[in-house]
Chains A and B, each alone.
Chain A
């Protein structure tokens, strides 16, 4: 019997993905482990490997959004028959001859229907939204299969979404690009972050010794190009271990504390912002961090990150120093409780012991989820980060 290729769940919370293109065509031979198609999830675009060897008998879904678990293709022997797959419906039509079809045709709780971009909402919810001028796309559904029900619309009205500013009539040279999944995710998550009460703390650090450390490390091993971001990753990871109250996440009913510092690094990739994660950075040497970071960043730029590369972060560093930004404030990367925004290192005149010194100073701003972290906790953490940057030996 032919093997059904089903859309895999590549990460927690993944409900659907968009098939970008197939790397094999129907009738072509595929080997298990060979890249079969490109999949765009809300986090990454990646190549998915074939789970079986044989002939790609049929591509059921050539492209577009598909829910997890749907059959998208069949691999089998030459000439083998495959089941019919309803490309619009949710389930393959496999009722065998003589078999009674399901008695109850109603949408039971387990039946999940692909949305095909259509918002699922009850007729009542649609009418309420229409009457009250609410965009259903902005409402989260809590009904069966995530359907928007009347209660969801009423709840969303209590916290109204700001009406979009009137759109200026597009002139001929305005281009309109449909939102990619990554762009949609950025928008959704950052909008979500905006609802979190935060506080920001800013500090400047003398980078003399950190710069010396980077220079010395490069001199010792020119093959490994250690950067200030690597030093920051190591320093922040150690500081998170010393201040475990910072390595947390807020949920509606519990505060989660994590045993390791999984440090995310914001990367400007061509398809948009992505945040690959250096796992357990506290256990890695500077050189190891540099290698992991280098690999993640280059794959991020080639849009080849895997789901596991961007999961599990407990803290994020966003460094815009290379763009000559003096200092900035970063928006939280939910569900993480804090993010460090790092500016450029510049020579500044600093009064010290009654004299003026010219020192390479770097300004950092820590943004914290105030539901999870208190001001003093953030300040102590930042103090440790500053001290460790000014005297990297302290991070050992």
Chain B
């Protein structure tokens, strides 16, 4: 099996789809000559030309709107929003248009658009360039939301997102672009709405997204040394949510930790905790623990940024609390 970085895996899904399908094209700020601020689309201008690798003006609302229009006309555009923080500028188009048009047209129109964006702390980008805003979009009926954490997942899920007839907000994590992993020779689509069990365990289930999947796997190794067997599950798709897999895991282990980099309060994890307490109430042996960033804007100072966002240690502490060893 070939090995790709997370960045290369995203590019491979885009390029493969564009080679096979004239309807697929990409657009965004500085994605052509510059190859995108994160280098994801590097080299694609040379292969596909400026018609299909389109630089846009610095207006997220305009580029999102243009992508939606193209989708209404039957194309499969992939729009890159340079930073997740700037999704707030595209929000009108994403939330009020993309998410609603299929419903409001009585199904006459479909919007097969993907909004690729990236965020995440760990490299000191300050308060406006590293937020994790997935909770904003999982709250909107009409949108699908994906957050992949490995090269294999990001490639297979981006493929499925491109070929989904509904708008998909596709989150990538800045610090994962360099992470390498084996991927299948040929792209295997990963169904949207299907969680992945990264590691099986008996005592605690950690449900983690994005960077926290990796932090949770590290925490699980540590917990194992203390005799606590941890299962790590990545929902991968936040909307629709694979409740079945999550609930089955928690019914097996009887304890749950929900971990993400976004702030804990009102976060995606709150919804997961609610799903678990309702569907697995009689199987829970401890309160569902939540791990996330502190309720503060992201500081620029590296030491403060480290303090605000969660790491493996925080996941480990939560694991210990669920098994009554927190004291």
Report which A residues bind B (CB closer than 8 A).
100, 103-104, 106-110, 122-127, 142-144, 147, 149-151
Contact = CB atoms under 8 A, between A and B. Distances in A.
A104 B254 CA distance: 21
Given A106-B289, A106-B290, A107-B287, A143 B282 contact: no
Nearest to B291: A104
Given A106-B289, A109-B326, A144-B327, A126 B282 contact: yes
A324 B292 CA distance: 71
A104 B281 CA distance: 21
B287 A106 contact: yes
A104 B286 contact: no
Interface of B: 254, 264-265, 281-290, 294-295, 321, 324, 326-327
Given A125-B285, A144-B286, 20 more contacts: A103-B265, A103-B295, A104-B264, A104-B290, A106-B288, A108-B326, A122-B286, A123-B283, A124-B254, A127-B282, A127-B283, A142-B324, A143-B286, A144-B326, A144-B327, A147-B324, A149-B285, A149-B286, A149-B324, A151-B285
A150 B254 contact: yes
Contacts of A106: 287-290
Nearest to B288: A106
A113 to B, nearest CB: 11
B-side interface mostly: loop
23 contacts: A100-B295, A103-B265, A103-B294, A106-B289, A106-B290, A108-B321, A108-B326, A110-B327, A122-B286, A123-B282, A123-B283, A123-B284, A123-B285, A124-B254, A124-B282, A124-B283, A124-B284, A125-B285, A144-B321, A144-B326, A147-B324, A149-B285, A149-B324
B242 to A, nearest CB: 22
A360 B62 CA distance: 111
A123 B276 CA distance: 12
A103 B290 CA distance: 10
Contacts of B295: 100, 103
B262 to A, nearest CB: 13
* 6 closest A-B pairs by CB: A109-B326, A127-B282, A124-B285, A122-B285, A143-B324, A109-B327
A100 B283 CA distance: 33
Nearest to A144: B324
Nearest to B277: A123
Nearest to A148: B285
Contacts of B286: 122, 143-144, 149
Contacts of B287: 106-107
B321 A109 contact: yes
Nearest to B281: A123
A21 B295 CA distance: 44
Nearest to B326: A109
Nearest to B324: A143
Nearest to A143: B324
B160 to A, nearest CB: 34
A253 to B, nearest CB: 19
B291 to A, nearest CB: 9
A151 B202 CA distance: 14
Contacts of B285: 122-125, 143, 149-151
Contacts of A123: 281-285
A271 to B, nearest CB: 35
Contacts of B289: 106
A104 B324 CA distance: 17
Contacts of B264: 103-104
Contacts of A150: 254, 285
A151 B322 CA distance: 13
Contacts of B265: 103
B19 to A, nearest CB: 47
A26 to B, nearest CB: 37
A110 B321 CA distance: 11
Given A103-B264, A109-B326, A144-B327, A122 B284 contact: yes
Nearest to A121: B285
B64 to A, nearest CB: 32
A21 B281 CA distance: 40
B216 to A, nearest CB: 17
Nearest to A130: B282
A124 B287 CA distance: 11
B283 to A, nearest CB: 5
A25 to B, nearest CB: 40
Nearest to A104: B264
A151 to B, nearest CB: 8
A123 to B, nearest CB: 5
A103 B289 CA distance: 13
Contacts of B288: 106
B108 to A, nearest CB: 45
A108 B290 CA distance: 11
Nearest to A141: B324
B102 to A, nearest CB: 37
A129 to B, nearest CB: 11
Contacts of A108: 321, 326
A151 B294 CA distance: 33
A52 B226 CA distance: 48
A107 B321 CA distance: 9
Contacts of A104: 264, 290
Contacts of B327: 109-110, 144
Contacts of B321: 108-109, 144
Contacts of B282: 123-124, 126-127
B309 to A, nearest CB: 13
B129 to A, nearest CB: 23
